[in-house]
Amino acid sequence: MNEVTGVVVCSNTKDLFQRAYESVRSFHPLLKIIIIDGSNATDPCYHYVCSLASEITTVGIYNYNIGHGNGMAAGIQLVKTKFALVFDSDIVMIKSPVADMLSMMNEETYGVGAFDYVDDRGFGKHNHSQAWRDAATKYLHPFFQLINVNNYFKFPPYVHHGSPCYKAMNEIKRQGLSDRLLIEYPGLSIVNNEGEPGGFIIHQAAGTRSDRRRRGVPEIEGRWDRGGKILRRNLL
């Protein structure tokens, strides 16, 4: 796994993040991981994340909620390996698919993972027709994706949005490259709380948003899709 670096974003959700981090570490104890943390300095998540800093775990401290999309973009900017393993802070790895995902990559591949489908504004439909899906954008979901870092920078970066990868996916589609650059990993699917666990990754869909709702704060802070310059913060 020397050619892979994990990237994960968290903010004030210690229990969710700790579960995700420790599950990945149980299969990949030596994996380089970059954590982008937007927790308040008084929150338990902040102290837990800071305690993880080591030679293989880089912690980026922002002291404000940078947001998932901007956080992923900031983390990917720090990756020095060929591949980035981007995963959500509300997943649990129950079996590692990473070696198999690596074997599916070729030099032109953008990424391997699970697909969703969105319109050109990044919005999906739960009950969509086949005609809608055929016209929609194939969307490589960021809950667990392996991407080629060089190829990531050939397309628009991830942005502050409910579907943070949508600009990159739209441009890949516009160039007619979705079927060439995006590879689906069989059996790696989005699993909602009511669904059956998959064979590799359990994803508590919208886990972080649900936690924020429970605490009475907005699900996603700020105006969506601003993108723009990201300030590089303290690294531990």
Which own/partner contact pairs does 119-123 have at CB distance under 8 Å and 24+ positions apart?
120/170, 121/166, 122/161, 122/162, 122/163, 122/166, 122/167, 122/225, 123/162, 123/163
H or E element that contains 115: strand 111-118
27: in domain: yes
pLDDT tens digits for range 199-236 = 799 987 654 555 545 555 555 566 666 544 445 556 67
Phi, psi of 69 (to 5 degrees): -65, -50
Is 225 a domain residue? no
* Higher-scoring residue by pLDDT: 213, 76: 76
- Confidence category of residue 113, pLDDT binned at 50, 70, 90: very high
Counting the structural domains of the chain, the total is 1
| pLDDT above 80: residue 164 | yes
Note whether residue 227 is domain-resident.
Answer: no
The token pair that represents 136 in the structure block: 């929609």
Residue 223 placed within a domain: no
In a domain, 235, yes or no: no
Q: Is 37 helix (H, G, I), strand (E, B) or coil?
A: strand
- Domain membership of residue 161 (yes or no) is yes
Q: Kindly state the percentage of the chain with pLDDT values over 90.
A: 72
53 in any annotated domain = yes
Domain assignment present for 64 = yes
Q: Taking residues 104-118, what's their average pLDDT?
A: 96
CATH number of the domain within which 104 lies: 3.90.550.60
Enclosing domain of residue 153: 4-217
pLDDT band at 134 (very low <50, low <70, confident <90, very high): confident
pTM of the entire structure? 0.88
